[in-house]
Amino acid sequence: MDDRGRRFLLRLQTGGTFHFHGGAVPHALILGSEEGTVVHSQTGARLACMRPTITDFILKMPRGAQVIYPKDLGTIVIRGDIAPGMRVLEAGSGSGATTIALCRATGPDGQVVSYEVRADFHDRAAANVEAFFGRVPSWLELRLGDVREAAATGEAFDRAVLDLPEPEGVLPEVRTALRPGGILVTYLPTTNQTQQAVLALERGGFAEIETIETLSRTWHVTERSVRPDHRMVAHTGFVIISRRGRD
Ligand SMILES: C[S@@+](CC[C@H](N)C(=O)[O-])C[C@H]1O[C@@H](n2cnc3c(N)ncnc32)[C@H](O)[C@@H]1O
């Protein structure tokens, strides 16, 4: 982070140099030092160096498909009750942002199975997940294919997370793959898609349906003034929570 709060995400490499508007910083100044260390570029600009948080990483990582923003990932993990040891079905993997959050939530005692129909997005998700964790977690399986294929595998999932344009088209198969009482989280960007999905969930044997929008506003706090920031991420999408009832 520079003195104006601008953030840069980089992977340190032996012999590497980071170039930015404030000059150049050899990676060797940072490698091996403690988190929070402050270094100076050759032209005197200051940089504070920290390991990235999941939020830093998701906002800066290369994208193929549009990612789910951290504010919504928080809602998905907590309202979807996704916990260590659970088996989670996901589609589509997209850029891997949601996959990263799900792997963190289930931990190594759980399992995440993520489907993606597009080979380029499947590869992008794998690269991002690997860059975040240092390797693809052993408890993650990235499958190139349609999430509807999960129904035929005989696997039973505790939770399912869908971020794809027409979830109603995959609901019967996802319901088959979810254990009774399992929770399905559906994420959609628009109201008309949300309405269609909720109606399809009602028809499709899902109960306790709840639609949530998460508004997150940062504030500017100084000695002289306390006010909301002028800019915010105003709209991202809607999170629909539902539960698989018994047949
Ligand atoms: C918006 S992106 C998902 C982004 C992801 N949640 C993230 O945070 O990076 C939606 C993805 O769903 C994939 N997709 C659409 N229908 C699918 C299906 N039936 N099975 C698996 N993937 C599907 C698309 O190819 C696309 O990559």
CATH of the domain at 113: 3.40.50.150
Mark whether 182 and 219 lie in a shared domain.
yes
Mark whether 66 and 12 lie in a shared domain.
no
> What is the pTM (predicted TM-score) of this model?
0.96
Mark whether 42 and 73 lie in a shared domain.
no
Minimum-distance ligand 1 atom for the alpha carbon of 146: 20
| pLDDT one-digit tens code per residue, 21-74 | 999 999 999 999 999 999 999 999 999 999 999 999 999 999 999 999 999 999
CATH of the domain at 37: 3.10.330.20
Mark whether 27 and 82 lie in a shared domain.
no
| pLDDT one-digit tens code per residue, 122-155 | 999 999 999 999 999 999 999 999 999 999 999 9
Mutate to test the pocket of ligand 1, among 61, 114, 116 (most ligand atoms within 8 A of CB): 116
| pLDDT one-digit tens code per residue, 103-124 | 999 999 999 999 999 999 999 9
Mutate to test the pocket of ligand 1, among 88, 93, 104, 115 (most ligand atoms within 8 A of CB): 93
Domain of 233 in residue numbering reads as 55-244
SS3 26: strand
**Binding site membership of 77 for ligand 1 (Cβ less than 6 Å):** no
**Binding site membership of 146 for ligand 1 (Cβ less than 6 Å):** yes
What separation in Å is there between the alpha carbon of 91 and the centre of ligand 1? 5
Is pLDDT of 102 > 90?
A: yes
